[in-house]
């Protein structure tokens, strides 16, 4: 809702029609100061309103952008209470972390898209070389040494999250959790056992009711054959052109994270999606 535009309100009418008391110069001066303060507050409120709407538009654009990327097993959604806080969960389907389900939050700076790196904090029990042991925060500095709002986007952070689970050995070079690295290198079996125990703990609490009342919190329910088998069969019977497809190019060079970087041989290709 836009702030109200100042007009000739009842209070102002009364202020200009009251009987003179004391110096006229004093009365006029007081009225002028009052109007200047009023317009000053209005400009400040409009500026805050514009910044808020502009920021929400940018966040919405980020969310729409990541929907066009192929991010298997990752689900995210901005909080209903604040567009700067996102709920996320990743289902790991292969590799050392297979069967792991890990919840995380993405916290954007108050001045987003300015303000530097987003913050990714895992809510689930986890052990990983690039996740701080005490805070469960993902170490992003090696993946994104300098956060540039013109080149970096939230979907790239999600791809980095995906990468650390499916390219574990390569992620060791980015390690911030030295204890995890030592345990993995010196006692691989113990690391694996500890990891599997944490995965089991997360599985046991995956369907717990959330501590937050935010309606955008990602909630899952156990598979019910009587309910979900019917839905699954209907989906499988749909014609291929009715099923959701991902088409077009992401324009990201292999091995990089910068968007809109078309390979040389595709410079003249038009995206018809």
The mean per-residue pLDDT over the stretch 155-179 comes to 95
Give the range with max mean pLDDT: 4-8, 32-36, 142-146.
Answer: 142-146
What are the DSSP calls for 30-91, one per residue? Answer: HHHHHHHHHHHHHHHHHHHHHHHHHHHHHHHHHHHHHHTS--TTEEEEE-SS-TTEEEEEEE
Query: Which residue in the block uniquely carries the two structure tokens 């000739």?
Result: 8
Query: Which residue in the block uniquely carries the two structure tokens 């052109």?
Result: 241
> Are 259 and 151 a contacting pair, CB within 8 Å?
yes
Q: Using the Cα atoms of residue 158, residue 159, residue 160 and residue 161 in order, give the sign of their dihedral.
A: positive
8-19 tens-digit pLDDT: 444 444 444 333
The number of residues in the chain equals 273
pLDDT value of residue 217: 92
Cis check: omega of the bond before 34, within 30 degrees of 0 = no
Q: Both tokens of residue 150?
A: 């013109």
pLDDT value of residue 228: 84
* pLDDT at residue 7 is higher than 70: no
Worst-scoring range by mean pLDDT, 79-93, 157-171, 241-255?
Answer: 241-255
Percent of the chain at pLDDT > 70 equals 72
pLDDT value of residue 229: 86
Crossing angle of helices 10-17 and 24-67, in 10° steps, is 160
Q: Both tokens of residue 75?
A: 């689900």
- What is the model's pTM? 0.69
- Residue 247: pLDDT band (50, 70, 90) is very low
> Are 101 and 90 a contacting pair, CB within 8 Å?
yes
Of the two residues 97 and 28, the one the predictor is more confident about is 97
Q: Which of 88, 93, 95 is nearest to 128 (CA)?
A: 95
pLDDT value of residue 140: 94
| CB neighbour list of residue 87: distance below 8 Å, 6 or more residues apart | 76, 77, 78, 79, 103, 105, 214, 216, 217, 218
* pLDDT at residue 25 is higher than 50: no
The mean per-residue pLDDT over the stretch 64-90 comes to 90
- Residue 252: pLDDT band (50, 70, 90) is very low
Distance CA 181, CA 187 (A): 10
* pLDDT at residue 38 is higher than 80: no
147-163 tens-digit pLDDT: 998 899 999 999 999 99
* pLDDT at residue 210 is higher than 80: yes
| CB neighbour list of residue 262: distance below 8 Å, 6 or more residues apart | 249, 251, 269
46-73 tens-digit pLDDT: 777 777 888 888 998 899 888 888 788 9
The mean per-residue pLDDT over the stretch 253-266 comes to 40
Partner residues linked to 89 by β-bridges: 75, 103
Q: What is the mean pLDDT of the chain?
A: 78
Exposed e or buried b per residue across 247-271, where buried means at least 16 C-beta atoms within 10 angstroms of its C-beta: eeebebeeeebebeeeeeeeeeeee
> Are 228 and 127 a contacting pair, CB within 8 Å?
no
pLDDT value of residue 121: 98
Can you list the domains of the chain with their CATH numbers?
70-220 (3.10.110.10)
pLDDT value of residue 245: 52
Q: Which of 116, 58, 47 is nearest to 83 (CA)?
A: 58
212-239 tens-digit pLDDT: 889 999 988 888 888 888 888 887 887 7
Of the two residues 137 and 113, the one the predictor is more confident about is 137
């Amino acid at each position: 809702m836009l702030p109200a535009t100042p007009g000739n309100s009842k209070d102002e009418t009364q202020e200009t029609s009251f009987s003179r008391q004391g110096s006229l110069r004093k009365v006029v001066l007081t009225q002028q100061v009052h109007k200047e303060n009023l317009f000053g507050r209005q400009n400040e409120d409009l500026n805050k309103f514009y910044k808020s709407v502009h920021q929400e538009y940018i966040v919405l654009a980020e969310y729409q952008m990541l929907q066009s990327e192929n991010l298997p097993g990752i689900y995210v959604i901005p909080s209903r209470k604040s567009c700067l806080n996102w709920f996320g969960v990743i289902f790991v389907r292969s590799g050392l972390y297979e069967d792991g389900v890990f919840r995380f939050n993405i916290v954007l700076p108050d001045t987003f898209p300015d303000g530097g790196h987003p913050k990714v904090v895992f809510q689930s029990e986890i052990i990983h070389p690039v996740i701080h042991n005490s805070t469960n925060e993902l170490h992003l500095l090696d993946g994104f040494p300098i956060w540039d709002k013109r080149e970096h986007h939230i979907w790239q952070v999600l791809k980095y999250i995906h990468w650390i689970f499916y390219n574990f050995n390569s992620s060791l070079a980015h390690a911030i959790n030295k204890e995890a690295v030592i345990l993995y290198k010196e006692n691989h079996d113990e690391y694996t056992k500890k990891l599997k125990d944490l995965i089991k703990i997360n599985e046991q609490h995956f369907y717990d009711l959330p501590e937050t009342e935010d309606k955008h919190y990602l909630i899952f329910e156990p598979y019910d054959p009587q309910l979900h088998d019917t839905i699954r069969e209907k989906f499988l019977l749909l014609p291929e052109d009715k099923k959701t497809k991902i088409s077009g190019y992401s324009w990201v060079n292999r091995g990089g994270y910068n968007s809109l970087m078309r390979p040389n041989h595709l410079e003249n290709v038009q995206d018809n999606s």
